[in-house]
Amino acid sequence: MNKGKTLMTGAVIFMCGSMLAACGKSQGASVKQNLNWMTSAKIITMDPSKATDTTSFQQIENTTEGLYQLGKDSKPVKVLVKKTTVSKDGLTWTFDLKKGTKWSNGETVTAKDFVYSWKRTVNPKTASQYSYIFSGIKNADQIVAGKKKADTLGVKAAGKYKLQVSLEHKIPYFKLLMAFSVFFPENQTAVEKYGSKYGTSSKTTVYNGPFLQKGWTGSNLSWTMFKNKNYWNAKAVKLQSIHFAVEKSPSTAYYLYQDGKLDTASLSSQASKNLQKSPDYVVRKTNGTTYFQFNLKMKKFQSTKMRQAISMALDRNALAKTLGGGYTGSKNFTAAGMTKVGDKDFTDLSQTKESLLVTGHHKQLAQSYFKERLKELGLKKLSFTVITAHVQVHRRILPECSWINFWQANRRQGAKPANQVPICQDGLW
């Protein structure tokens, strides 16, 4: 690999936790730059309407792009849009698109590609797990609920390169949402050509981003991204290729890194502690929040006080310290340092006395709540099993881990789901 300071522009590689990353002096733009990268989970889908996992989003973000992408401090940066206009009442957004950007099948990216994508995502037949995020766009909730047709969604092509969106109410962070791949365009020709197979392999997917993906068959554990020579901003993309390999074991990844077969290696908690003084040691923060999710079908968890007792019994800061790496104890579902309102962090602004109480470590109060609930249930003791989500190997010790993205957290305005308790966070992308 040519280990330069600037690897790429216009593409985002998602990373989380602590890791080792090769570094060195750039050998110049004339030398081909190839990167050997790892991920701890395989791709599930390349279909933006159906993706839910980190690896899939990672691949989509690097091969496809929409109106905006997130830059420094989560600020939206124009990508396919050249001008954005918002009506005085904040309910009508008009996006003027760049002309001449291409799909990998040769077709031009137009406003119709966005209209098609959004209507496809909210259509219940698509079964998108992220269809709810369109809430606030005219008729989106009714469409998702099956009460209106997808064609009634408040989005239209007001011209070949003019996209117009009608909202039911103001969404202050709407521009930020446009950087999420669920809002990316989709090529109707390709989707209809491949049908249910669309996005299930490299060959059944089309791209309009800085890289083209090749070699993913739908189940294999390695593939490659190549620089898209027809990308509108190809001159800014410094990497010639990125070879991905799924390495589920942090120890295996570390050995491959030492042998020079990987340019990066995600570390286990213990390894991150042992290697903190290494010159290659890097903490790449994400906007993830790890949390407990209770099974409310079980009577013992139906009590709010029982869930609060478990929450207050958790010493989040101690847990984060034990984990090492970039983990910090969470105060709510929104990771710190992601979104600012004025000069204040949204995480701090969204706090209340009640939320701080529940997410704080209060051993005696937790015991009191717990005893009270046991008495109500007629029990002397209570036990339960914690099932972990194996999204990423280095997170397996944490219960029910998942991603709570900033747009979700903002949408909730600090109100957490009744059956979830935030535990640890690892910052921002």
Which of 192, 117, 111, 197 has its CA nearest to residue 153? 117
3-state secondary structure (DSSP) of residue 253: helix
- Give the number of other Cβ atoms within 10 Å of residue 233's Cβ: 15
3-state secondary structure (DSSP) of residue 35: strand
Look at residue 71 and tell me whether its pLDDT is greater than 90: no
- Residue 85 and residue 141 in one domain: yes
- Residue 417 and residue 298 in one domain: yes
| Cα 2 to Cα 258: distance, rounded to the nearest angstrom | 17
- Residue that finishes a domain, picked among 283, 310, 339: 283
Which structure tokens are listed for 366?
Answer: 């937790």
| Cα 206 to Cα 73: distance, rounded to the nearest angstrom | 30
Look at residue 224 and tell me whether its pLDDT is greater than 50: yes
The residue behind tokens 């009442």 is: 89
Q: Band of the pLDDT at 81, cuts 50, 70, 90?
A: very high
Burial code (b: 16+ CB inside 10 Å, e: under 16) for 21-49 equals beeeeeeeeeeebebbbbbbbbbbbbbbb
Q: Band of the pLDDT at 424, cuts 50, 70, 90?
A: low
Whether 145 is in a domain gets the answer: yes
Whether 51 is in a domain gets the answer: no
Whether 199 is in a domain gets the answer: no
- Residue 296 and residue 414 in one domain: yes
Q: Alpha carbon of 134 to those of 48, 72, 78, 349: distances in Å? A: 14, 25, 20, 24
Which of 291, 288, 294, 287 has its CA nearest to residue 422? 291
Please state, rounded to an integer, the average pLDDT across all residues of the chain. 83
Tell me the backbone φ, ψ of residue 292, rounded to 5 degrees: -80, 135
Which of 214, 282, 217 has its CA nearest to residue 243? 214
Tell me the backbone φ, ψ of residue 199, rounded to 5 degrees: 80, 10
Strands across the sheet containing 155-159 = 81-86, 92-97, 162-166, 155-159
Look at residue 240 and tell me whether its pLDDT is greater than 80: yes
3-state secondary structure (DSSP) of residue 86: strand
3-state secondary structure (DSSP) of residue 231: coil
Mean pLDDT to the nearest integer, 203-219: 97
- Residue 295 and residue 413 in one domain: yes
pLDDT in tens, 322-337: 877 677 888 777 777 7
- Residue 297 and residue 420 in one domain: yes
Look at residue 404 and tell me whether its pLDDT is greater than 70: no
Which structure tokens are listed for 239?
Answer: 């990497």
Angle ∠(99,104,109) on CA atoms, nearest 5: 25
- Residue 278 and residue 338 in one domain: no
Check residue 323 and give its pLDDT: 75
- CATH for 366: 3.10.105.10
3-state secondary structure (DSSP) of residue 366: helix
Please tell me which of 1-15, 19-33, 290-304 the model is most confident about, judged by mean pLDDT: 290-304
- Domain tally for the chain? 3
Whether 8 is in a domain gets the answer: no
Express as a percent the part of the chain with pLDDT over 90: 53
Check residue 75 and give its pLDDT: 85
Please tell me which of 17-31, 204-218, 351-365 the model is most confident about, judged by mean pLDDT: 204-218
Look at residue 398 and tell me whether its pLDDT is greater than 60: no
- Residue 268 and residue 297 in one domain: no
- Give the number of other Cβ atoms within 10 Å of residue 171's Cβ: 20
**What is the extent of the structural domain holding 149?**
76-193
- Residue 357 and residue 238 in one domain: no
pLDDT in tens, 94-117: 999 999 999 999 999 999 999 999
Check residue 16 and give its pLDDT: 37
Mean pLDDT to the nearest integer, 378-393: 71
Check residue 91 and give its pLDDT: 98
- Residue 188 and residue 297 in one domain: no
